[in-house]
Every structure is written in C-alpha cells, then in structure tokens.
Amino acid sequence: MGKKQTRSQFPKGFYWGGAIAANQAEGAYLEDGKQPSTADIKSRGFFGGLRRDADYYPTHKAIDFYHRYKEDLKLFQEANFNIFRTSINWTRIYPTGEEDNPNEAGLKYYEDLFKEAQKNGITMMITISHYETPLALIDKYGGWDNRKFLNFYLKFVKTIVTRYKGLVKFWLTFNEIGNASVVPICWDAAGIDPNSDNLQQRMYQAAHHQFVASSLATKMIHEIDPNAKVGAMIAYKTVYPYTCKVEDVKAAEASKRKEYFFSDVQARGYYPSYIWRYFEENNIHVKMETGDEEIIRQHTVDFLTFSYYRSRVVSADYEEPAEKTSDSLEGLVNPHLPKTDWGWTIDPDGLRLALNELYDRYQLPLFVVENGLGAKDKVEEDGLINDDYRIDYLAGHIKAMREAVADGVDLKGYTMWGPIDIVSNGTGQMSKRYGIIYVDLDDNGNGTGDRVKKKSFEWYRRVIESNGDIL
Ligand code: BGP
C-alpha cells in the first residue's frame, strides 16, 4: 500500500516545470518566413522605447532557442519537468497576420518542438498570444482597440489548435491580459502605443475585444480538441494597504478591483458591477456589439493561471509617477520586505494569500505559471554558479504553495519563470536572469550561448523528484 498523502503535500500528478515566451527565447526573428512582431522593435525592453533605428534589439537573437530547443528540452527532462509552457510566435504562422494560408515552416517548427517535448515526457502548455502581435497588423490597423483583430486572432487560433490537436493539453488565450490596461505594457499586451491619445479609452476597448476573442477561442478549442483545457492568465500582485487608515484601505480595494476586473470577466462571464463607475469617472465608453455579452457569458475559462513575482502596497496619498521606469513600476516601498536587485519585493506569503483569494473568488483550478527571481549571477573561476539566493526564493514560494494546498486550494501546477536564462521583457537585459540553467550571453548578445547548470538546477530536480516534499 502506498503512503497516504497528507494535507500539506502536493497532490499526486502535480505539474512541475518552467515557462518561457517565444519572443524572449527563440531569436531567429526573420527566419523561415517570420516577419517582425511588436516585440521586435523594442530596442531595450519596454523601458528602452519603441524604435526602428536602434543598433540592438534583444529579441532578434535572444538565446537561439529556435535552433537549440532539443538540447534545452533534454535539460528540462533531466530536471524532471513534466510540463513546459511557451508561446507560439504569431508571426511564424501568419507573418503579417493577413495571409490566407499559414506559413508551413513556422507550423512545422512548433510541431517538431511539441513532439520532442512529448518524447521527453513533457506536457505542453501554450500561451497563444504572449506579447507578440504581428507588427504589420499594428501598422495597418492600430492596436487591439480595432475590432478587426478579433478575426485575425481567431484565424491564428483555428490554425494552431487544428494542427496541434493532441500535442497541447493546456491553452492560455492571452498572457497577463490585464496588462492591456497598464502603461507601458499595453504595447506588449494589446499593441497600443503608450504615447497615444485617449489612452484609457483605447486600452479598455482593446481589453473588450480580447475578452470576446478569448471566449470565442475557448469555444473553438473545446470543439476542435475536447481533451484540451483553456485557461485565463493574469498578472497578480498581492495588494496591501500602506496603513490601516480607512483611506488607504479604500485605495487598496480600488486598486485590487482594477486587477480583478480581467479575471472576473473571464472566469465569471460578465462585466462586474463595480467597473461601470470606474468607466464613467474616467470617461471610458466600451463599444460592444450585439451578442458580445452572450459570448462572454457562455464561454468562460476552464481554469485560471497567473504570474506572481511580488506584492505591492497602496496608499491614498501616493500618486503614481506619470513617467514609469523599471523601479517606479514597483510603486511604494514596503518597509517590511526584502527586495531584488531590480527593486521587486520578495514576499512568499503574498503568494499564499493570492492563491487563497483567487480560489475563494472563482472556485476554479489554479496554476502558478510564472514565478521566480531575476538576479545577476556570477560565474566562479571553477565555472560554478552558486545561486543560493534563487534557491531561497523558489523554496519560499513553493512552501507557500504547499500551505495554500493545505488551506484547501485546488492548485494543479507550477511553472517557474525562465528555467533557462532568457531576455528580460521589461529591461531587455540578459543579465536579469531567472534560470536554473545559465546561458553565456551578455546584455549586447555577446557570448557563446552555451548552457551551464547552476546550483539551483540540481536543487529543483530533487524538489520535483520528491513532489515538493524536499525543499
Ligand atoms: C511577466 C511576463 C514575462 C516575463 C516576466 C518577468 O510580466 O509575462 O514575459 O518577462 O514578467 O519580467 P522581466 O522579464 O521584466 O523581469
């Protein structure tokens, strides 16, 4: 008889692995028919601005996952991964978004990748749109606030889901969908130029189109591949009021609702009552077509996934700076928590709170699909990379997940962010590393690109082997 599972253990069959995004890893940005995407004109991450005349674009080369994926998947298998999350670069399949027929070379690439994963015993989770819309579509039609994007997206979804039926178990419709309403990430999430007029209006109109697109995609995926599951993906930052002043608590609640808006629509199937006042006060008029509300109501997601890196504090007296930088995105400083080199708070308990709040609110299965520590790593003279700080970070968060499971949360899996070092989305740097596997490249793309296991590699391998018992 097997050992009985205790309350504070991860369930049997728990998914353990890692997550990346195509544009941050693949490189080969114009190979085999691919055309540029919104990611490919970011000269140095989203804080470097959008430029078409810069000397360096990190995503053009990235870590060459495009050519080296077999080697990388082998390493993931060696680390005991049973799940891997990546995205499909839309511009490999429909290079300008408007072709009648998909690009076979792009389709074949992902087919080979998914089959290779399957061979290694790894289940695929795919983000359909992870910050990489065809640039040609944006140039011609603006961003996702244009309703035309719905059909371009659905054509893409139909093609990939039909082709990869049986190879992909979990589909996520949009990465961190709420970032369609956040400056400057609205560019990444919805192709909205953060410098445009009527920004709020444009961002929420774009979000509406993504809601409808996501629901129609959910319907389509269920019809094409009944064994596949469809999830929403949000960025979650646990919110604390700065003080117990009622004003701060109210401000914190309002801020939370701005985040919850997106998962409320996707999980519950309707616009929550609280959003109308926000729209009115900010002069936002979301245009809906007849049938949109019905579509959103009928096709809610099967499960909810989220990224969790940090918590935030909110005060009624603190005004967000108009000009955002990597540091100011963090907002007010929580004096009780340590921070990363990039000023992000380290707060494992915040993850336990997040899991409880989300499960309580939706009663849907949950996945933590991004979590990790961006840090500068040092290669010692003997070639070792002793990233004990990363082990501490991950161990703390896995422990917090274990507590949440003991609290009764239905948690299905964990994919740490960037198991192999990739280009940072925010800064465009290679030196902001998340991996348990080191990649020998610097911020200008110089280096051999060789892969080296860090100390955390063996640690994570054993964590997975013990199903999270040994941390
Ligand atoms: C999330 C994105 C990822 C990833 C991560 C880490 O918001 O979904 O694409 O990049 O953040 O952020 P960064 O790369 O800026 O450190």
40 close to 441: Cβ distance less than 8 angstroms: no
Q: Which phi and psi (to 5°) does residue 415 adopt? A: -120, 105
How far does residue 276's CA lie from ligand 1's centre (Å)?
30
Helices (H) and strands (E) in the chain, counts: 15, 12
CATH of the domain at 48: 3.20.20.80
Tally of domains in the chain: 1
**16 φ, ψ (degrees, to nearest 5):** -125, 135
Would you give the end-to-end CA distance of the chain in angstroms?
25
DSSP letter assigned to residue 134: B
Q: Is the CB of 418 under 6 A from ligand 1?
A: no
Mutate to test the pocket of ligand 1, among 425, 431, 434 (most ligand atoms within 8 A of CB): 425
In a domain, 102, yes or no: yes
pLDDT of residue 59: 95
| Gap from CA of 309 to ligand 1 centroid (Å) | 9
| Rounded Cα–Cα distance for residues 333 and 347 (Å) | 13
Domain that holds residue 290: 15-465
Residue 150: both structure tokens together: 């719905």
What separation in Å is there between the alpha carbon of 21 and the centre of ligand 1? 9
Residue 253 lies in a domain: yes
Give the closest residue (by CA) to ligand 1 atom 10: 425
* Residue 5, in any domain of the structure: no
pTM above 0.90, yes or no: yes
Task: List the one residue out of 55, 76, 62 whose CA is nearest residue 29.
Answer: 62
What is the Å distance from ligand 1's center to 427 Cα? 9
Catalytic residue among 71, 319, 370, 381: 370
Ligand 1 contact via 435 beta carbon (within 6 Å): no
Distance between CA atoms of residues 80 and 453, nearest Å:
14
Residue type, 162: T
Nearest to 165 by CA among 218, 224, 110: 224
Short-list 138, 182, 179, CA closest to 306: 179
Q: In this structure, is residue 4 part of a structural domain?
A: no
pLDDT at site 44: 83
Q: Which helix (DSSP H) or strand (DSSP E) does residue 416 occupy?
A: strand 411-417
CA distance 311 to 450: 34
370 is catalytic: yes
Ligand 1 atom with least separation from CA of 175:
8
Q: In 120-147, where does DSSP find H-type helix? A: 135-141
45 part of a folded domain: yes
Ligand 1 near 305 CB (within 6 A): no
In a domain, 1, yes or no: no
pLDDT, position 136? 98
* 55 found inside a domain: yes
| 290: its two tokens | 């007849």
User: What does the pLDDT read at residue 323?
Assistant: 56
Q: Is the dihedral of CA 350, 356, 358, 361 positive or negative?
A: negative
Tell me, yes or no, whether 384 lies in a domain: yes
Which residue CA neighbors atom 14 of ligand 1 most closely?
424
Cα 426 to ligand 1 centroid, rounded to whole Å: 6
Which atom of ligand 1 lies nearest, measured to the CA of 235? 7
- Are the C-beta atoms of residues 129 and 180 closer than 8 Å to each other? no
pLDDT < 70 stretches in the chain = 1-3, 320-330
Closest C-alpha residue for ligand 1 atom 15:
426
Residue 321: what pLDDT?
63
Contact (Cβ atoms closer than 8 angstroms) between residue 373 and residue 389: yes
DSSP E strands in 278-391: the ranges are 303-307, 311-314, 366-370
Ligand 1 site, residue 373, Cβ cutoff 6 A = no
